[in-house]
Every structure is written in C-alpha cells, then in structure tokens.
Structure 1
C-alpha cells in the first residue's frame, strides 16, 4: 500500500498516459485524469492536487496545458513533467510556474507495454524527494541531477536509438538491392550489439508503440547549435524521418521507417518537397509549413513574432520582435544543420521603415559575416495586427548532409 496520500492530477491520456495513470490507481493512489475535450478545464483538473503529472505530445502542448492549469495550481504543489520536451522547454516551464510550485522533469524510456507493466525507466531531474515513491510505480527511477538533467538525458538517448533504427532501415534496403535475404541479415545482426534493434524492424509493428511522428519530434528537439558545424548522422536520420512523416507515416510505429526507406532507396521516388514543422517553435495555422526542403535548398516561410497561443511577442517594440523572429529562424536553421552563414537570400517586410535602424541592429547580431542577398520593403500591414515585421529566407544547405 502506498504512503503518499495526496491527490494526483494526471494530465494527458494518450498512448502512454492511459496505462501510466492506471498504474497509479492500481497502486492505491487517488488520481484525477484529464484529457483535451473532456469538458473539464485543466485548472479544474489540478484543483487541490499535491502532485500534477503531465504526459503530453510536445513542448507547445505542455506549455499550453500548464498555462491553462495555473489558476488551479495550489501553493506547494509539485509538477512532474514526464513528456519528452528537452531541457530548454523545462527551463521555460520553471519560469512559467509560480515560485511556490515545484517542478521535476522525469521523461521515461520505454513504450506502451512497459508503461502498463511498470517497467519504464524514469529519467529524473530536480528534487524528487517528494515524488520518488510515486515515480517508482512506473518503473526504475534514475536520479540524474538538477532540473533539466532528465530531459537532456532523454534527448541524448533518443539521439542514439532513433538514428540507429534509420541506419538499419537503410542497411536492409542495401541488402535487398544486392540479393541479401532480410531474415538472414537480421539473424546475423542478432549476434551483434544491433541485434535487439534489428529484431524490432523484422516486421513493422501494426500497433503504434512509439510513433514515427514522435521519433521525428525527439530528433528535432535534439537539434542544437554545436551540431550545425558539420554534417551529422543525427541530422541525416532526422531528414529521413521528416520525409516519412511528410509521406503520411507519422501515426505509424517508428518501425515503419523500414518500409519507407525500402520504397525510396530501393528505387521509388522520394518526396521532392519535404515540409518541416518543428515542435520547438509555435505551430502554424495549418495553411503553411514553417519551411520546405527541396534537395539541398531550404525555403523558410515568413516568420513573425507570435507565441504558441497566437499572442504578439514584444508588442510595440521592433527590437523585441526582431529578436524573437531571429531566434525562431535560428532553430529552423539548426534543425537542418545550417547557420546564418548559409543564408542565400533574406527578405524583410516592415510596417514602418523608420524603425529599420532598430531592426538592423538586431539583424547584425545574427548575420555577422558577408551579408546575403536581401530585400527590405515597407508594407501597410501584416497578417496579424500589432506585428511590425516578417522575415522569409532561402538557405543553401550543405550537399547531402546537415
């Protein structure tokens, strides 16, 4: 019987959330579950809870739900963030939450089966003294250090596991092109350190245990500035997954990457235009993609200063809006292994040309070398009232890599 007697609010009832919440109930905990569309607000769901657990799809979803939950969070409560969102997003959550509300990051290793069995590995960052017993219901708990350490460890681990499965998918395609029987190849690989992963790809899973879209998101979260200086295996794997997601395989299990690679590497046409929509920047309205990659060229849609809720960032300030825009562009470039040195063309729309000096001061912080071709024009208004600028660009990527 458990000794934690407080109320737990579990926000998120997706593939992982349902069995994890059920484990808590089976362990004797008092649990309130919440999901979008339930008719109950997030604030109502967390009202009175001592522990609030989030298991959601991406950083934007976590920020949205916890922002909505803020009015209901009690002083002294602890939020345990168990989604895969990366350390930067964890730091943003700490700034979002009141000082009197604790925060632990505790993403997990494992899929739906281990979630139901209680055999997940919990990667915890921050002070877990008040929730260690609850986390142990899900499996083994690894205490990794300060806040953000668990999120960073999860991205680091997935940056090895996911590309390895893409590599094996390409290995299978090579084998098939040269008359190598896939079953025999997997049998041989079973005697190597890659054996377990190879077995997962033997027959693509009909059940979605770890979706291809989530795997893509995890690698997108792993894009970091230091990785953009040279081509990387992670970047190549990320591009493969983005192609597969664009081809409609996002809700399939990650093992579907094997059939996608077999079709395209084996002679079928790969998508010429690959839409890119990163989970680390505010989502689009569904009528455009943030960027589209065609071969070794990247076309970036007009970026403007608004957050994930559609609110203007830095209203009235050209400097603040320009900083936000260039930060978003930086993330898009990093995802594709590029820097501002790779920008071939940049176009800026200003609603007030008299503020071009303020804009130029920010631009020079990011574009420090020989400037790209560019155009700056004044327009009467942009698509959202309050926006002062919008920037689109064309980027020449490194041939064949990131």
Structure 2
C-alpha cells in the first residue's frame, strides 16, 4: 500500500528525468517530439504497441497522457498504475472535462500528483510549440515542461483547465457549425461562396468563415473529437451547443468522424437535399452480411437492427448459454449507443426474440444490469429459430438520441 508520506516527494522535472508520454496520435506524436528536441528523456507509448502501459511509465517522474476521450484515459492509467513511481506527477492533457479529472484523482494513489492541462491548438501548433496550455492544479513539478508546448495559462485548482477547455470549445465548435449552415443557406439562394466569406471577413467571425470556405484536406481537429467535446459540455441550458452537437453526430454517423471539423460545411450543404436516414456500421462490432445495417439514424431517432451473439468470423459466442449470449448482445448494443452519444437510459423501445421462453430469467438478469431505472417500452416473444443455428436470442431497439 502506498503511504501518504509520498505527498511531498514531487519536484520539478529536470533534463535528467524520464518523461513517459502516453498517446501518439495526431497531437501526441509532435508534442513528444517537442520534448525530445528540448533535451528531455522521453518514453513514448501508444495503444496496440505491444508494450504495457505499466512498463512505459516505470521510473518516470512525469507521465503525460494525450488520448482520445475519458474512457481511454481511465483505461490507460488504470493499466499503468502497477508501474507508476511513487511521487510521480500525471499531467492529463486530453480533453476529458472536469468530472473525469475528479475521477482520475480518485483513481490515482495519494502519492501521485495530478495536473489537468488540455490544450488549444491543432497539429501545426503542436509541432511548432505554439499551443495554449490550459492548466489546473499544482504545476510545481511540470511548469517548465509544459512551457515546451507553448504558452501556459495557470487557471486555478485541479479541474480548472479541463473546465476552461470545454467552455471554450462550447463556443468555437457551434460557431463553425453555424457558419456551415450559413454557407449552405447562401448556396441555396445563389450567394457566391467567396463573396459571402469576404463579407464575413469584416466581422468577428471572419477567421472561422475562412476556415469553412475552403475545408481542410488535413485532419487538424477531427469532427469526431469536436462532437465528443460538445457531448462532454452538454447541459440543459446549452441550446445552441445542443443543436450543433446533433449536427456533428449526424455527420459522424455519415462516416465523417475522422475528417477535419471543417468537413461539416460540405455535409451541411448536402444534407439540405439528401435523405435523413443515415446507416451506421461501426468497425468495433462484427460486420453485417451486406443485406442490412446495424443501425440507422433518422434525425434524433436511432433504429438498431436485431443484434445477436456472433463474432467477426461469424461464429456463435457463448453457444448453449443464454447468459453468455445476452451479455455479448448488450455489449454490442452499448458500443452502438456510445457511438451516438447515447446510453441505455435513452432506449425508448426494446424487442427481444427468444428461442426458449423458459430461459427468460437468465436473459432478464443480464438485461437488468444494463437497463436500470424506469424501463422502456418492451416486447418479448418466443420464436422457433433465428437466422443462425445456435443463436438463442436477438434484440432490436428504438432509441431517442440525446438533444
């Protein structure tokens, strides 16, 4: 067990100390290179590299995380805990929101320091060292290291940086969605795109309008990350951000998640005339046979096809076990819901097909672990067989998406 005597062992990182940098995506890779160029000893790690996160952080005075979302940060830091040096400082630079920062403080041992330091800026500023670092917490162990990335704004106690980042993005992202709709309106009414951008250049929106006028071919800030940032900042009074979030979720569902946020301009123009039915087939769940989509989004409603327990090779998962097959089905459904920013609390209707009604108690025990609180509308029926021999159940849903 770690002792509280380690509380005061943190000290400013020097060039002789090792920095572990977890996350080597679009932002993480150039940021790690900045540290190396500044003379620091850096151990880099990415998921799927074959090296454990615990091995990557072993002996490091500073552990920096730059990952995709709160779930990824929790997963990676949990895996890293066995290798975390007593007295090390974790600098969380992803965009995860203040609630997730508080969860990390509870996750980490008392011996570890924690600083939240998300950044403003994209890939270019990450490489140039011109990011704006929004920092919360005690920076005494990492102030000089953070300065390598750009200008550091010390904003107050732990969580202040994460809250500031979400607040800023809650203005910048909806503004770009609004401008995408502005260009779509202009196009529909014969307004020249360049002329419109020229007029907007004389307003406070000019810089953002220029970005949208010629969308970036390079992904500097992905549309999926923009949608995630607005999901993290969701609150009841955020009407404009809510509308922008729905537009981004629609574009993400259409397969634009890995494109730059500026791709929302072309998507908005096309969506004026195209069907609002958007098929969804996620890479994290088994592929379909090409005759159906796992889900279809129409506006704020999601229709999920019957989900059954088979893997990527088409083999039955949990053959002969209602409990095992039900668990697999609900895990797949959870991934589909999460992709659309939804939870099981957003399910409006669920329909279950069982090959043996006598096994409904086993199915119900699994279902109650996922669907809690007031249950949705529901139908459960017994059928003689399903589309693949050995399947014991199939579940389809209708979901009212948030916002």
Work out whether residues 254 and 280 of structure 2, in 8 Å CA contact, stay in contact via their aligned partners in 1: no
From 366, 371, 393, the equivalent of 2:397 is: 393
CA distance in 2, matches of 1:383, 1:87: 46
Q: Give 1:81 deviation, angstroms.
A: 0.7
CA distance in 2, matches of 1:12, 1:154: 19
| Deviation per residue, 1:207-259 (Å, 9 max, x gap) | 211122222222222234665899xxxxx222222222233322221111112
Higher mean C-alpha displacement, 342-351 vs 377-386: 377-386
Work out whether residues 121 and 142 of structure 1, in 8 Å CA contact, stay in contact via their aligned partners in 2: yes
Q: 1:384 to 1:128 in 2, by over 3 A?
A: farther
CA distance in 2, matches of 1:366, 1:289: 23
1:122 maps to 133
Root mean square deviation, CA, Å: 5.8
User: Any gaps of 5 or more consecutive residues in structure 1?
Assistant: 231-235, 263-271, 398-402
Work out whether residues 174 and 240 of structure 2, in 8 Å CA contact, stay in contact via their aligned partners in 1: no
SS in 2 for 1:215: helix
From 352, 355, 359, the equivalent of 1:351 is: 355
Q: Give 1:290 deviation, angstroms.
A: 9.4
Work out whether residues 180 and 265 of structure 2, in 8 Å CA contact, stay in contact via their aligned partners in 1: yes
SS in 1 for 2:187: helix
Higher mean C-alpha displacement, 214-223 vs 334-343: 334-343
CA distance in 2, matches of 1:126, 1:313: 46
Q: Give 1:279 deviation, angstroms.
A: 14
Q: Give 1:161 deviation, angstroms.
A: 0.9
Work out whether residues 59 and 280 of structure 1, in 8 Å CA contact, stay in contact via their aligned partners in 2: no
The equivalences for 1:1-400 within 5 A come to 5-7=15-17, 8-224=19-235, 227=238, 236-262=243-269, 272-274=276-278, 292-299=296-303, 344-346=348-350, 373-375=377-379, 393-395=397-399
| Deviation per residue, 1:349-382 (Å, 9 max, x gap) | 9999999999999999999999863346899999
Higher alpha-carbon Rg: 2
Q: Give 1:103 deviation, angstroms.
A: 1.4
| Deviation per residue, 1:138-189 (Å, 9 max, x gap) | 1121222222221122122112111111111111111111111111111110
Higher mean C-alpha displacement, 165-174 vs 276-285: 276-285
- The number of residues matched between the two structures is 379
Work out whether residues 6 and 51 of structure 1, in 8 Å CA contact, stay in contact via their aligned partners in 2: no
CA distance in 2, matches of 1:226, 1:336: 21
Work out whether residues 101 and 116 of structure 2, in 8 Å CA contact, stay in contact via their aligned partners in 1: yes
Work out whether residues 60 and 280 of structure 1, in 8 Å CA contact, stay in contact via their aligned partners in 2: no
User: Any gaps of 5 or more consecutive residues in structure 2?
Assistant: 1-14, 270-275
Q: Give 1:105 deviation, angstroms.
A: 1.1
CA distance in 1, matches of 2:313, 2:115: 24
Q: 1:297 to 1:311 in 2, by over 3 A?
A: same
Q: Give 1:60 deviation, angstroms.
A: 2.3
